[in-house]
Structure 1
Amino acid sequence: MPKTVTPESGLAPSDLPELPERPGVSYIMPVLNEAEHIAQAVGTILDQDYDGSKEIVLALGPSTDGTTEIVEALAAGDPRVRVVHNPDGDTPTGLNLAVRATRSPVVVRVDAHSELTPDYTSLAIDVLRETGAANAGGLMAARGETAFQKAVARAYMSPMGLGGPAYHSGDEAQESESAYLGVFRREVFDVLGGFDETLRRGQDWELNLRIREAGGRVWFDPRLRVTYWPRSTWKQLAQQFHATGRWRAEIVRRHGSRNSVRYFAPPVLVLGITAALVEAVLQLSGTTARWPKFLRRFTSLVYVPSAAYVALIGAEVVRAKDCGIRERIWFKLVLPTMHLCWGAGFLRGLVSGAGDSVDRSRSAKLQESTPLNASD
């Protein structure tokens, strides 16, 4: 469970011990219903171009698609692969179980649907050593196979899409609010006690918040690239962003002003569009005709933000010249889907909290076939 921290908790660069030349590395991965991807994911991780000792700890959830048998076979065939059981199947719980099963000076969070570049580990360790960071991460390089997936990947990498964090759009190496996945010093878990198991989404951001509050440094380096494969259907994308919005609202309820103002843009957009729709209904019904002229002019201003948003979407689509017409059409639909679903989920979460909300957009029933090298 998370521990109370102060700036003197021992994660400042000057407090961290020097890393060995080739420290041992433990990769931690929560796994649930990943039969299609898990074997290649493990192979890719163990094939990292790094000559220090490596192990991977898989936190195995209650899978129903044959993942359990595959994971057990992988562990039986390679002593570097270990398994801990995660009966609840929750990501933060699985991550903590995996961390507790490791002892290496460096802990690398990995995902069955992401691909590390071959030099990711060695480069990340150099970054940790050079910057004194407690956690380092890099660019979440979204890619797609289908026109829809490519459109989602484009939205992820666009400032108009997710915006804000350097790990989405790329930037110069710098201190960061959070990090994608993350390469951690062991001391992070010794001092902070791990991920918050009450957060089903956003647990990475919350842990990085505590790292910074404990005096630690979170570092972004664009040379650290992780290929990310987005959801493959519109329904999955909508479910993903609605759940993410609810959990971000839960984090806002807990941590208030320590959240960036950018998280409030999607819910404000939802409120603005809702107000515009209400105004349109009142006008069409003739209700506003009975209002004073100055009031009708004032309430008509509610259309301005929505019209500006539509114009921004149009401009972003026009700039997307290096893609086919199907991808461009999907891109036009994907951007508002991400924003509105996230914003609606945020508003719901802000009122009632995240509760037991679960993102089921990766469930076995919803997953569609994607190439074995296309994990996200």
Structure 2
Amino acid sequence: MRKDIAADSILIVVPCLNEEAHLSLLLPQLLKQAGDASVVVADGGSVDRSRDIVQALSRVHRNLILMNNPGKTQSAAVNLAVRVHGQKCRWLLRVDAHAIYPDDFIQQLIRAAAERNASSVVVPMITRGHGCFQKAAAAAQNSVLGTGGALHRSVGPGGWVDHGHHALMDLTLFMQVGGYDEGFVANEDAEFDRRLISAGGRIWLERKAMITYFPRKTAGRLFRQYRNYGRGRARNLRRHPVPVRLRQMLPLMVTPAVAAATLGLVMASRWPEGLLMALPAFLWLTVCLVGGVLLGLEGKCWCKAFSGFPAAIMHMAWSLGFVEEALDGKPVHEAPSPLVFSPPIGQDCSPEERQGFMVLN
């Protein structure tokens, strides 16, 4: 790898869907760091002010591009942006709109990629909330209670990993292995990392580039998010069979435990069989609630004391999604083929060639 990675050799892609609450803060911060690098906001059909915000900023920053993402998912957004805008770029930087990034984020990634000779540089993330439910969810996601001790969800030294929150990637290798699998609504990043490592890529976790993430604001949205995570994880394992880790095995047992508890309540008249069947679910829920109270006491926050509830939602939703996908009899589709460029005139990394061109249909 070259030691003189230029910032303008990076294609920056921001998948977006109804992110008006974050774009006004994110994009100016990102554009300040980007220099002449292209920043593509791939919008999946926002109905809020997201597109207006991007269009307004693009009148001042000619390297900011708004494009449609007919596929709507994050994986489709990144793949499309790469095919259309990545022809003269060396690196791909994925930026999620639902987060805040440090002021030297891009430089930290560039430095890590050069020093470590990495094919991909991933980052850890901490979670922060505003409303009471968000604060409770954030406390759960920042703890072992919610994430089981995942390396990219904790504070610690950097190192070589098999997965982390996606940031900087070698664009050539990204395309060679097929980019993201657009059949994955979630867990597309972890699935991609399997193919990247199989192709000889190396993934470095850069602690100095830690980002701040905002969790879902409601229980329903959090449940849907983690249900998709569970489905994606199970689908990933069907394609890339590996042993399930303990931190994944424990929440996986939640759905069977809840099903047994439900059956046990129906059989409550048959003591002690009915109560014994409900015991695992009762112990799980107790651990969640007591763990949440301890997090609240540690953080001296009443909202965080209720973090056991979002933790239980996350466990249940992830487990349900995993079980649903595991029981699905449909065969897993084949891994994606290598991506190829398809840029119209003016669609590349050169601001001079691309000036004034935006995909808005």
Common topology (TM > 0.5): yes
Q: Who is 1:349 aligned against?
A: 325
- Identity among equivalent positions (%) equals 27
Q: Who is 1:98 aligned against?
A: 81
CA contact (8 A) 2:22 2:99 kept: no
- Partner amino acid for 1:210? R
Distance 1:354-1:104 versus aligned 2 partners, 3 A rule? farther
CA RMSD of aligned residues (A): 2.5
CA contact (8 A) 2:293 2:308 kept: no
Q: Distance in 1 between matches of 2:42 and 2:195?
A: 23
Q: Distance in 2 between matches of 1:247 and 1:82?
A: 30
Counting only pairs closer than 5 Å after superposition, residues 209-220 of structure 1 correspond to structure 2 as 209-220=194-205
Q: CA deviation at 1:236?
A: 1.6
1:60 aligns with 2:43: yes
1:151 aligns with 2:126: no
Q: Who is 2:262 aligned against?
A: 277
Q: Who is 1:330 aligned against?
A: 306
Q: CA deviation at 1:22?
A: 3.3
Q: Structure 1 stretch 147-156 or stretch 64-73: which is displaced more?
A: 64-73
Q: CA deviation at 1:260?
A: 4.1
Q: CA deviation at 1:210?
A: 1.0
Q: Who is 2:54 aligned against?
A: 71
Q: Distance in 2 between matches of 1:159 and 1:285?
A: 37
CA contact (8 A) 1:135 1:179 kept: no
Q: Distance in 2 between matches of 1:66 and 1:354?
A: 39
Q: Who is 1:120 aligned against?
A: 105
- Partner amino acid for 1:54? A
Q: Who is 1:247 aligned against?
A: 232
- Partner amino acid for 1:18? R
Question: Which segments of 5 or more consecutive residues in structure 1 lack a partner in the other structure?
Answer: 1-16, 290-295, 356-376
Q: Distance in 2 between matches of 1:35 and 1:314?
A: 34
Q: Distance in 2 between matches of 1:281 and 1:70?
A: 54
Q: Who is 2:354 aligned against?
A: none
Q: Who is 1:10 aligned against?
A: none
Q: CA deviation at 1:105?
A: 2.2
Q: CA deviation at 1:348?
A: 1.5
Cα deviation 1:265-309 (Å, max 9, x = unaligned):
323122123223323432x233x68xxxxxx5xx86545533543
Q: Distance in 2 between matches of 1:31 and 1:63?
A: 8
CA contact (8 A) 2:69 2:76 kept: yes
Q: Distance in 1 between matches of 2:301 and 2:174?
A: 48
Q: Distance in 1 between matches of 2:250 and 2:216?
A: 23
Q: Who is 2:341 aligned against?
A: none
Distance 1:354-1:170 versus aligned 2 partners, 3 A rule? farther
CA contact (8 A) 1:115 1:227 kept: yes
Q: Distance in 1 between matches of 2:106 and 2:62?
A: 20
Q: Distance in 2 between matches of 1:354 and 1:109?
A: 31
Question: Which segments of 5 or more consecutive residues in structure 2 lack a partner in the other structure?
Answer: 332-361
Counting only pairs closer than 5 Å after superposition, residues 153-302 of structure 1 correspond to structure 2 as 153-257=138-242, 260=245, 262-282=247-267, 284-286=268-270, 302=277
Distance 1:324-1:57 versus aligned 2 partners, 3 A rule? same
Number of residues of Structure 1 aligned to a counterpart in Structure 2: 327
Q: Distance in 1 between matches of 2:158 and 2:326?
A: 33
Q: CA deviation at 1:18?
A: 1.6
Q: Secondary structure at the match of 1:44?
A: helix
Q: Distance in 1 between matches of 2:294 and 2:305?
A: 13
Distance 1:258-1:134 versus aligned 2 partners, 3 A rule? farther
Distance 1:113-1:230 versus aligned 2 partners, 3 A rule? same
Q: Distance in 2 between matches of 1:33 and 1:20?
A: 37
Distance 1:353-1:84 versus aligned 2 partners, 3 A rule? farther
Q: Who is 2:6 aligned against?
A: 22
Q: Distance in 2 between matches of 1:247 and 1:110?
A: 20
Q: CA deviation at 1:237?
A: 1.3
Q: CA deviation at 1:342?
A: 1.3
Q: Who is 1:305 aligned against?
A: 280
Q: Structure 1 stretch 202-211 or stretch 65-74: which is displaced more?
A: 65-74
Q: CA deviation at 1:129?
A: 1.2
CA contact (8 A) 2:294 2:305 kept: no
Q: Secondary structure at the match of 2:123?
A: strand
- Partner amino acid for 1:306? A
1:319 aligns with 2:291: no
Q: Distance in 1 between matches of 2:194 and 2:245?
A: 12
Q: Secondary structure at the match of 1:29?
A: strand
Q: CA deviation at 1:177?
A: 1.9
Q: Distance in 2 between matches of 1:158 and 1:45?
A: 28
Q: Secondary structure at the match of 2:240?
A: helix
Q: Distance in 1 between matches of 2:3 and 2:171?
A: 11
Cα deviation 1:318-338 (Å, max 9, x = unaligned):
432234563144212111111
1:340 aligns with 2:325: no
Q: Distance in 1 between matches of 2:97 and 2:177?
A: 25
